[in-house]
Structure 1
């Protein structure tokens, strides 16, 4: 069945949707994106994703083409047109097509390209991996220095993800100067004693929307949170580990570079945080 997608104001069958070969998103990875989860045909933490989108656009000196209400309307239209119960809505904004290829981008006023599409994922919240946990490897972090901007420059994370797949595990944690930055598409955490530890926000990591919500819920549940960097060795010797993202929610990690974390089973803290997150997000979904 052909999906309906959105391109620059038009709703089209996916096989009829096109973008110029001169679009800077295609030529230069000059664009940003967001992914919003859908449960029970409603959007999770939509407002947070739009706030981050606007920040990313501003950091790249790119015009914001739509209002918050227009973004919300397109998301809802796509959910309805594609009959999405559980899944994702992908949103991408690029600097558009100013003409011939040039490293120097055009001044403000060039119309950005806006693309949105859905991906159906029945049972998204019931991922069986949440019961068994992920196994991960560590790889050197070779990305550019502005990871706080959610750009479409995803080649290196893709290569790291493929290395993990080739080695028979679920994902990779990226390491810089001996410390974990984040996962290929998620924020990273360990638990030691009663303390949840995760890297502090900076240009080094993505300011995760799920991260913000989970840490807020952890504080409300009177769990201790410490924002600091940690090493792979420290993670291997932790009681628990987990990651957060818009699509994985809270996902336990049970093995790092072949070493079991804790007893090698899904821990109580990650399990509880996943339960709280899904419950609270469903209540607030739009």
Structure 2
């Protein structure tokens, strides 16, 4: 392809990006070996096995007031997911083992530098590790000797969820098997179908219930309950993704014991649908929320059908932790 043709392609891509009205101020690509600021150049090779075979993992972190929140916790999960997916040769240190501190430090450094280059002070980052480009076969044996690492900054003026609450429905879309549910991989088709199912039924999101009748999780969030005995319950993480925000909630919630009298304690355990439907409060828990109260589930009110004080207090607690807590990494903007 000649220079003129290349310029025409680039112009078309830039035109398309400008018309989308989306804010992706920076991307990192190990294929390029650096940070990209032009959205038209933020591309992934078609023969990357993450694209056509789903052989990749990802994770995220929020940007709040110029700091990356809980990045280390997300990176730890990211590297565990990579090991489960057998993406075991890090792109920067081919001779090290996946999940090494050296690898984690390098990834952290890249993500911090990318965020700094973006100038974004509120939003999120998302990052992927794939088996890399190579061919269109099923096996990854023909891929690059080292995986590919991609990351992007997503600018968003998100706010704490303190509205009137949302509706949830139980989805009929099958759950992922435990191996894939506990690994944050790029196969999100069940998640997409379940959120579409919820939207079709006028709800914000759906809730999965497993074959034994235990509440599992939402399509991109965990679920929290307050029982009539004032026990805060989050479903155990054995067959679902261990949400970083949910784990942080479990750590911070005991601080509310004296204020809101969580006399039943704070638990990470199995909870049946029957018990869950008798709860007085319910909420989705996730990075960008951080707590979103649910006031109606499958057409029935949760508790009195209003946002409850415990979930609001937990939302305030997590929001304050995002703004001034100890798990924040300041970004050295240029």
- State whether TM-score is above 0.5: yes
**Runs of at least 4 residues off by over 3 Å:** 220-223
> Which structure has greater strand proportion?
1
> How far apart are the structure 2 equivalents of 1:145 and 1:93?
21
SS at match of 2:305: coil
The aligned residue for residue 170 of structure 2 is: 138
> How far apart are the structure 2 equivalents of 1:248 and 1:16?
30
Q: Determine whether 1:6 maps to 2:15.
A: no
The aligned residue for residue 106 of structure 2 is: 70
The aligned residue for residue 243 of structure 2 is: 208
CA distances 1:81-109 after superposition (whole Å, capped 9, x unpaired): 33212111011111112x33333332998
> How far apart are the structure 2 equivalents of 1:227 and 1:252?
18
Which of 85, 91, 99 matches 2:121?
A: 85
Greater alpha carbon shift after TM alignment, 59-68 vs 177-186:
59-68
| Matched ranges for 1:13-32 at <5 A | 13-32=38-57
**8 Å contact kept, 2:277–2:302:** yes
> How far apart are the structure 1 equivalents of 2:145 and 2:283?
41
> How far apart are the structure 2 equivalents of 1:107 and 1:60?
16
Greater alpha carbon shift after TM alignment, 26-35 vs 140-149:
140-149
Shift of 1:259: 0.6
Q: Determine whether 1:239 maps to 2:263.
A: no
The aligned residue for residue 46 of structure 1 is: 71
Check 1:108–1:22 CA distance in 2 against 1; reply closer, same or farther (3 A cut): closer
Shift of 1:197: 1.4
Which of 164, 188, 206 matches 1:154?
A: 188
> How far apart are the structure 2 equivalents of 1:139 and 1:264?
21
**8 Å contact kept, 1:138–1:173:** yes
Greater alpha carbon shift after TM alignment, 81-90 vs 227-236:
227-236
**8 Å contact kept, 2:75–2:104:** yes
The aligned residue for residue 269 of structure 2 is: 228
**8 Å contact kept, 2:25–2:120:** no
**8 Å contact kept, 1:198–1:228:** yes
The aligned residue for residue 255 of structure 1 is: 296
The aligned residue for residue 316 of structure 2 is: 275
Shift of 1:187: 0.8
**What TM-score do the two structures reach when normalised by structure 1?**
0.91
Shift of 1:151: 0.4
SS at match of 2:306: coil
**What TM-score do the two structures reach when normalised by structure 2?**
0.79
Shift of 1:37: 0.6
The aligned residue for residue 169 of structure 1 is: 203
Gaps of 5+ in 1: none
> How far apart are the structure 1 equivalents of 2:231 and 2:311?
12
What is the alpha-carbon root mean square deviation over aligned residues?
Answer: 2.0
Aligned length: 281
The aligned residue for residue 113 of structure 1 is: 148
Gaps of 5+ in 2: 1-17, 19-23, 93-102, 330-334
**8 Å contact kept, 1:136–1:173:** yes
**8 Å contact kept, 2:284–2:291:** yes
**8 Å contact kept, 2:132–2:143:** no
Higher radius of gyration, 1 or 2: 2
CA distances 1:195-254 after superposition (whole Å, capped 9, x unpaired): 01121121x100111111100011344441222222334333210001211112111111
SS at match of 2:178: coil
> How far apart are the structure 1 equivalents of 2:204 and 2:280?
20
**8 Å contact kept, 1:138–1:232:** no
**8 Å contact kept, 1:84–1:120:** yes
